[in-house]
Amino acid sequence: MINLRVSAESLEHAIEAAMNVRTNAYAPYSKFRVGAALVDADGGIHVGCNVENASYGLTNCAERAAVAAATAAGRRDIVLCVVVTDTPVAASPCGACRQVLSECNPAMDVLCTTPGRSDAWHRLDDLLPYAFGPDSL
Ligand code: THU
């Protein structure tokens, strides 16, 4: 069972924000649009979408874009990441995004969902066990 550390109101705002930002994804190659919303410890919401490039390897994922937005806003105390994909079953963050999210808070909650609300709740440290982090150095 997930220990939800955000209010029901923050959760609904974050889901809506992730759904909305997904529509701004720049994904002409994969056509796979992803929206992410991070909630900080004060309920602030920081969003990101995937941004692809004709040089495919330069693509940036939605979750890492959201981490950049939160960091630029001065917030690294992320308690929840909401990821929205337009798939029948919710897709979970790629390995690179798990690693980058983990540096904010390895114990954050992760809600993977879809426009039809196929919800899958996780804890990041279940998605990325034995993470390499600041204490590994
Ligand atoms: N993508 C994300 O934005 N987040 C993930 O966690 C997995 C993949 C994006 C990258 C690319 O633009 C598209 O989804 C297909 O891989």
Q: What is the pLDDT of residues 30-43, one digit of tens each?
A: 999 999 999 999 99
pLDDT at residue 2, as a whole number: 59
Reading the block at residue 75, the tokens are 């917030």
Cα 79 from Cα 123, distance rounded (Å): 10
Q: Is the CB of residue 26 below 6 angstroms from any atom belonging to ligand 1?
A: no
Look at residue 86 and give its three-state secondary structure. Answer: coil
Tell whether the model's pLDDT for residue 1 goes beyond 60: no
Q: What residues form DSSP beta bridges with 34? A: 85
pLDDT at residue 5, as a whole number: 82
Q: Is the CB of residue 21 below 6 angstroms from any atom belonging to ligand 1?
A: no
pLDDT at residue 33, as a whole number: 98
Q: How far is the CA of 23 from the centre of ligand 1 (A)?
A: 14
* Cβ proximity of 86 and 100 under 8 Å: no
Handedness of CA 31, 87, 84, 101 (dihedral sign): negative
pTM above 0.75, yes or no: yes
Reading the block at residue 33, the tokens are 């649009």
| Residues forming the active site | 63
* Ligand 1 pocket, mutate which of 23, 31, 34 (most atoms under 8 A from CB): 34
Residues 87/88/92/95 CA torsion (nearest 10 deg): -60
Characterize the bridge pairing of strands 109-113 and 78-85.
parallel
CB hemisphere CA count around 69 (13 angstroms): 22
Q: Is the CB of residue 94 below 6 angstroms from any atom belonging to ligand 1?
A: yes
Tens of pLDDT, residue by residue over 41-100, are 999 999 999 999 999 999 999 999 999 999 999 999 999 999 999 999 999 999 999 999
Tell me the average pLDDT across 21-36: 98
Q: How far is the CA of 73 from the centre of ligand 1 (A)?
A: 23
Look at residue 81 and give its three-state secondary structure. Answer: strand
Q: Which domains does the chain have, with CATH numbers?
A: 8-129 (3.40.140.10)
pLDDT at residue 113, as a whole number: 98
